[in-house]
Structure 1
Amino acid sequence: MNTRNRSIAASLTCVIAAAIGLVGATAANAQNLTATTISSMAADALTLSNPSAAEIPTLRTALATGSIQHSDYEALHERYVQCVIDAGFDPQFRTTSHGVYVEMPYRDVGDTEKLNEATARCGAESATVQALFRAQQAGAKLTENPYETAISCLQQVGVVDASYSANQLAEDWSKDRMPFDASDLQSNDCLYEAGFAYFTIDDE
C-alpha cells in the first residue's frame, strides 16, 4: 500500500483567488484581499472575474444570504460528475461529515492526459463555489492559514493535542509523516476541508 497527498490550496484565500482568476496570487498578497466573508468573496468573484454561467446564480445567492446553499453545491457537483462521465471516466466520491465531496483517485486510467484535461475543464465550471463551500463547511476564516484550520479541527476531534502546532503539521505534511492516521475518516475530513487531500492506495 502507498500514500499520496497533495495540497488543494496554499491557503483558502489562494484557492478562491485562483478559482476566480486572480492569477499569480500568493499567500502574502492573498492575505491582503478585502473579502473576509462568504458574501464579500462572492462579490469579488462576480465583479473581479469571469465566473462560469453555472456559478453566477449561486454566487448571487451567496452575496445576498452570506452562505453557499447546499442544494446549489449539490447541483454543481452533479454537473461536474456528468461532465467527467461524458468525457469517458468514472468519478468516485466520498463525503465528509460536513457534506463536502472528496474526489477519490482514479484507477486503471489509460490516458492520464485526457483525464487531467477533463477534470480541469469540468472543474472550472464550479471551482469558485467548491472552494467557498469547503471553507464555509470547515468554519474557517477565509484568511486563515490552512494548517491552522486543519489543526483546529484535528484538536476538536481529539486526534492531536494542544501541543501540536500548525508549523509541525506543515513540516510533517511536506515529509508525509503525520503522527496520526491521516487515512482515518475524521482526520481525513479535517485535512480535506482545510485544503489537503490525503489518500491511501492499495498496490495491485
Structure 2
Amino acid sequence: MTVTEIVPVDKRRSKVILDDDFTLVLYRGELRRFSIEEGSEITRDVYEEIIREILCKRARERVLFLLKSSDKTEQELRRKLKEGYYPQEAIDYAIDFLKNHRFINDEDYARRYVEFNSRRKSERQIRFELQRKGLDKETVGDILKEQPVDEAAIIRDYIRKKRLCPKQMDAREKSKVMASLGRKGFSYEAVSRVLGEIFVDD
C-alpha cells in the first residue's frame, strides 16, 4: 500500500490516503511511529497493526462516548464512524463489541422510541423516522402493533392546545388545521373524524 497523500484534519490529526482507496485518520505521533509520509509504503502487517492496536480501540471508545449522550441505532453509529473515516474493520469491531455487551439493540431502541413518541407523533411519522434510523419495515410494524398509536387522542390534544373549536371553524380554518396535521403525518380521515365531519371532494 502506497501513501498517496496526507491531508491535515486539524492541528493534531491527518487523513492518510492510500492508493487502494483506503483512508485512515491518525495523530502526528502515530505517523512518526509508523514512519508514514507521502510516497512511503505500508505493509499489510503494519496496516493490520494500525487497525488492531489503534483504530479498533479508538472506534470502540468513540461509540461508547456517543451512547453517553443518547441512545442510537446500529445504523446511526455506523454512519458516525464512517463520517470519522474509520475503516470498515474498525467499524465492525466496535459494533460487535456493543452487541456482545448488550449496549445496543435496535428492537429495544424502537420500543422505547415508540413508547416515548406515541403520545405526540403520528404512526406514519414514527414509521418514517425509525426506518430512517435503520429499522426494517417489518420490525417497526410489529412493534406498532404491540404499542399502537392513539392518533385521535393526539389530534384532540393538538386542537385543545391551539384553542380551536371545530364547530365554529369555517371551511378555510378547517383546511388549515388539516394541512398542518397532514404535514405531521396524520391522515385526512383521522383528522376529519376528530373534527366531527368527513369532507368529500365534489
What's the TM-score, normalizing by structure 2? 0.23
TM-score (norm: length of structure 1): 0.22
User: Which protein is bigger by CA-based radius of gyration?
Assistant: 2
Larger relative helix fraction? 2
